[in-house]
């Protein structure tokens, strides 16, 4: 009698085949789930909208959100926003050249995604990102320089305003935005990753934009909160400045 065998197959071989089947099913499931956003695709060559078949796109699934609402994905809806740019060359994948104001074209480094137009909230119902005047349980550490009141210096070396407040992430306990009170009135947010702080000179440096362009940064609907969509658009505006703020930035180095 031979132990550990079933017919002409031993147990180890059966387990190996079972693992192969499980792993193949796992890959299939993961590849289906990661296609819930970004598909189906639009053909760049003919502009047509193509719905991929069941081999590529999973059946719609309902996702229940923490606020009680629900969304369905995939939705088979394309991006209806107009493209404020023209292709530099006719072949597919050619770069786009912005039309009109490049900082507001929404292409290249200034591209942004459509997100919910409400603030992200913590588990206890507070806005995740808030200024210190609202998140009063946060403060600047006494060991470092307090940037409140620092001059905001732009890429052209001119001051656009002064730091009015700091916006913190209540969940991560980190700084997210500098709020700049503009010399011409009003205020705008500057993402922390676009800002360099000089404590000795009592200034912050924003190399992505010129002083005039900082005044064009999209404003907030509510001065004490920022929505997910506003965060996306503000970050894209600064990102576009890294290439389009001045003419020499968009030109080739060689």
In this structure, what CATH number is given to the domain that contains residue 172? 3.90.50.10
Over residues 100-115, mean pLDDT = 90
Q: How many structural domains are present in the chain?
A: 1
Q: Is residue 107 domain-resident?
A: yes
Over residues 14-18, mean pLDDT = 91
Where is average pLDDT lowest: 1-5, 65-69, 151-155, 215-219? 1-5
Q: Is residue 82 domain-resident?
A: no
Q: Is the dihedral angle over the CA atoms 222, 224, 227, 233 positive or is it negative?
A: positive
Q: Is the pLDDT of residue 19 over 90?
A: yes
Q: Is the pLDDT of residue 230 over 80?
A: yes
Q: Which of 203, 162, 165, 202 is nearest to 184 (CA)?
A: 162
CA dist 71 to 4, 22, 59, 130, 250, Å? 50, 30, 14, 26, 39
pLDDT computed for residue 180 by the predictor:
97
Q: Is residue 202 domain-resident?
A: yes
> In whole angstroms, what is the distance from residue 136 CA to residue 218 CA?
26
Question: What percent of the chain lies above the pLDDT cut of 90?
Answer: 52
| Domain span holding position 229 | 102-250
pLDDT computed for residue 67 by the predictor:
76
With bands split at pLDDT 50, 70 and 90, how would you rate the model's confidence at 1? Answer: very low
Q: Is residue 231 domain-resident?
A: yes
Q: Is the pLDDT of residue 2 over 60?
A: no
Q: Is residue 117 domain-resident?
A: yes
Q: Is residue 26 domain-resident?
A: no
Q: Is residue 85 domain-resident?
A: no
Q: Is residue 21 domain-resident?
A: no
pLDDT: which is higher, 92 or 86: 86
Over residues 165-182, mean pLDDT = 95
pTM for this structure? 0.82
Over residues 44-52, mean pLDDT = 63
User: Quick check: 93 and 187 in contact, CB under 8 A?
Assistant: no
Tell me the per-residue pLDDT of 54-81, one tens digit each, with 9 for 90 and over: 677 788 889 998 778 898 888 777 778 8
> In whole angstroms, what is the distance from residue 248 CA to residue 252 CA?
8
């Amino acid at each position: 009698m031979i132990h550990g065998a079933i017919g002409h197959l031993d147990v180890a071989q059966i387990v190996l085949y079972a693992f192969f089947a499980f792993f193949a099913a796992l890959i299939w499931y993961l590849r289906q789930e990661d296609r819930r956003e970004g598909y189906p695709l639009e053909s760049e060559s003919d502009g047509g909208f193509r719905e991929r078949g069941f081999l590529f796109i999973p059946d719609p699934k309902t996702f229940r959100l923490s606020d009680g609402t629900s969304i369905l994905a995939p939705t088979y809806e394309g991006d209806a926003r107009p493209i404020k740019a023209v292709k530099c060359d006719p072949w597919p994948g050619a770069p786009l050249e912005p039309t009109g104001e490049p900082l507001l074209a929404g292409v290249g480094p200034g591209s942004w995604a459509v997100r919910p137009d409400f603030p992200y909230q913590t588990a206890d119902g507070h806005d995740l990102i808030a200024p210190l005047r609202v998140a009063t349980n946060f403060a600047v550490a006494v060991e470092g320089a307090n940037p409140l009141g620092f001059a905001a210096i732009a890429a052209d070396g001119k001051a656009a305003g002064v730091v009015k407040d700091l916006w913190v992430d209540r969940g991560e306990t980190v700084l997210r935005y500098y709020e700049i009170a503009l010399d011409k009135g009003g205020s705008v947010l500057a993402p922390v990753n676009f800002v360099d702080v000089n404590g000795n000179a009592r200034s912050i440096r924003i190399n992505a934009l010129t002083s005039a362009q900082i005044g064009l940064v999209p404003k907030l609907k509510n001065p004490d909160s920022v929505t997910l969509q506003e965060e996306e658009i503000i970050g894209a505006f600064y990102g576009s400045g890294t290439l389009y703020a001045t003419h020499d930035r968009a030109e080739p180095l060689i």
